[in-house]
Every structure is written in C-alpha cells, then in structure tokens.
Amino acid sequence: MRFSLFAHMERLSPDQDQRSLYDEFVELAKIADAGGMHAVWTGEHHGMDFTVAPNPFLNLIDLAHQTKNVRLGTGTIIAPFWNPIALAGEAAMTDIITKGRLELGIARGAYSYEYERIVPGMDAWDAGQRMRELIPAIQGLWEGDYAQEGKYHSFPATSSAPKPMQVGGPPIWVAARDPNSHEFAISQGCNVQVTPLWQGDGEITKLMDTFKEACAKFPEVQRPEIMLLNHTYIAADAADAQQAAGEINSFFCNFGAWFKNERPVSQGRIEPLTEEDIAAHPFYTADAMLRDNVIATPNDAVARIKTYAELGYDEYAFWIDSGMSFARKKASLQRFINDVMPAFA
C-alpha cells in the first residue's frame, strides 16, 4: 500500500491571513514529498472559506516547483462546472508544466451551495450525468479529432491543445460510492477514489465489496486502482487522540451544515455553529469520530490501516482537513511518516 496527502486551505475565521494559510498548505505538501509519500491531492470548491480551492491546477503547478517527487492530483475537479474542451486543455497543460506528474480526479460535486451558484437548477443526479458525459470526452480530446453530440456539450471534431505529456493522458480517478458510479469508472478504464466520510470500517468494507463486484462485471478491463480517502490523525497519546476526535467532530458538523445548505453564509463563511449545535447533532460525536476514523497512536493506526491493505486498497490518502491548527496537523503528518509508513515498506 502506498500513501498520499489530501489537503486544502481552510479559513475558519476572518482573522486568518490567506497568504499564511496557503504557505501552510505548501509546507504540508513539502513534508509529504520529503517523507516519501506518493501523491498530494487537492480539490475544487467555490465561494466557501471552509475549503478554499477555486482551481486546483494552479495549486498543483505551484507545488510542482516546490516538490521533487510526489504525484500531483486533483481531488477532485467538479465535472459539471467544466466545458470538456477547456478541462482537457488545462489538464494537459498542467501535465506538461508538472513534467508528467498529474493525476486527474473527477467527481460530480457534493454541495448544493455551489450547484445553485454555478449551474442553477442542477441537482446531484444531473451532476452525475454531466460527469458521465465529460470523462469520455476528455479521453477523446486527448486522443484527438473528437466530436461530440451530447446532452450537455456538443462540438465538432476537436483535439486537446496541448496534448498531455503522459502517454494516453494523466490517470483519471472517479469519486465513486454507489454501484453505478463504480461500474461507470471501470467501464471507462478509470481508477476509483472512495471515502467513508464519517461512517467507519463497515463502510470501508462495503465500498471495497462494491468495487470488486463492479470489476467482476467487466472482466475484459484490467483491474484499476482504488484509493481510500480517510480522515486521519496520528496522536502522541490517548489524550491527544481525544482532542483530535473533538476537532474532527467539529469539522464534520460544519461539513454537514454546508451540505444541508440551510444556514446563512456571509463573506464565504457559514453562520458559526454553537457548542449546543455541535452537541445536539444526531450522530456526529467525538466518541464516534474516535471509533470510525483513524485517530490513533502509531501502533494502533498501523494495525487498522493494515486491514485496509488486506481488503485490497492500493492507496491510502491521509485526509488532513480538520479545522485544527497548523502545528497539530504538521505534528500528526510527521508522526504518520516517521512511525506509520515504515510498517508498510
């Protein structure tokens, strides 16, 4: 099993300086690179200080000049927000500038807050259909002289300009959950990215079962790779783990509030949740986070992650977004590199 870092700028207060937050993001990526991680992933979001990521290609190009070896992945591009010709060209140029280090993760998106601002009237089903039209178009445009008559985008024969540096184009990863999305990814020759979010080891097993069942339906397709994206904190001791569980619980409460899209938003920040709001959540609790995420001391983390390797996951992505301080994120990541990764060498 290989390991990667999944990170974004998080701005939870107007007092946080944006440039400093970006510098911290870069520092985490440099630690991952120096520590021998396989990749750094960062995604796309709009109008939300909760996850500041308007164009991951810009971040990845910058990281290419500040790191040496890590692959550089979009985790993920939001498919319905893109014209396929524009995405094919921008991804190809990014691949050239990064000297062939790009991995292209694509998803339908998750937040109705973004949908209603960028593609008004679109729902999650429609977003998924747009993704299914986009990915074959990207592959065709990289090959060249590709024409499309689609529901969402139609255009005469067109070639991506430029073409990617990697032969055949950067590997494409599809964010999948239900059987249909797994089957779509495999049918298109794409890798698969999954996350249990807060739902724990039972969901991690279920997602792998879904992946294996989808692979069995396409025996003519070489088995793609599957990545597990999971919230992780490597603790110094039990008290440190308990503190991290509280912080990640607060993160998920805010994540859920953004997802529901019911609270007022001003200056890119949602109306703050109170301690009472967090305590009243029907299923997010600090104890549940401790149980259902890899929030553990190194030895316990190694034992748990080995079960994921045994299930068949190829890559484990350390999801570091948590609302906690940079110092705590950095210490956790360094413990992961120093005390967890060597057990898988």
Residue 194 CA to residue 171 CA, distance in Å, equals 16
Closest listed residue to residue 261, CA positions, set 88, 50, 81 = 50
Q: Which residues, 6+ apart, have CB-to-CB distance to 156 below 8 Å?
A: 147
Residue 222 has what pLDDT?
96
Residue range 289-301: mean pLDDT, rounded: 97
Convert the pLDDT of each residue in 29-86 to its tens digit: 999 999 999 999 999 999 999 999 999 999 999 999 999 999 999 999 999 999 999 9
Q: What angle do CA 18, 28, 327 make, to 5 degrees?
A: 75
Q: Which residues, 6+ apart, have CB-to-CB distance to 35 below 8 Å?
A: 333, 334, 337, 338, 341
Domain boundaries 2-238+293-344, corresponding CATH code:
3.20.20.30
Convert the pLDDT of each residue in 238-288 to its tens digit: 999 999 999 999 999 999 999 999 999 999 999 999 999 999 998 899 999
Residue 184 CA to residue 139 CA, distance in Å, equals 14
- Phi and psi dihedrals of 54, rounded to 5? -70, -25
**Is pLDDT above 90 for 310?**
yes
Q: What is the domain partition of the chain in residue ranges?
A: 2-238+293-344
Sequence letter at residue 235: A
**Contact yes or no for 248/233 (Cβ under 8 A):** yes
Does the predicted model carry a pTM greater than 0.95? yes
**Is pLDDT above 90 for 94?**
yes
Residue 283 has what pLDDT?
87
Convert the pLDDT of each residue in 106-141 to its tens digit: 999 999 999 999 999 999 999 999 999 999 999 999
Residue 188 has what pLDDT?
97
Convert the pLDDT of each residue in 158-197 to its tens digit: 999 999 999 999 999 999 999 999 999 999 999 999 999 9
> Per the structure block, which two tokens stand in for 192?
């698969």
Sequence letter at residue 293: N
Residue 162 DSSP one-character state = S
- Phi and psi dihedrals of 158, rounded to 5? -145, 145
Residue 282 has what pLDDT?
85
DSSP states of 84-152: HHHHHHHHHHHHHHTTS-EEEEEE----HHHHHHHSTT--HHHHHHHHHHHHHHHHHHHHSSEEEE-SS
Convert the pLDDT of each residue in 204-215 to its tens digit: 999 999 999 999
Q: Which residues, 6+ apart, have CB-to-CB distance to 259 below 8 Å?
A: 110, 111, 112
- The β-bridge partners of 158 are 146
**Contact yes or no for 85/159 (Cβ under 8 A):** no
Residue 51 has what pLDDT?
96
**Contact yes or no for 146/137 (Cβ under 8 A):** yes
- Looking only at the bridges linking them, the beta strands covering 269-270 and 265-266 are antiparallel
Residue 341 DSSP one-character state = G
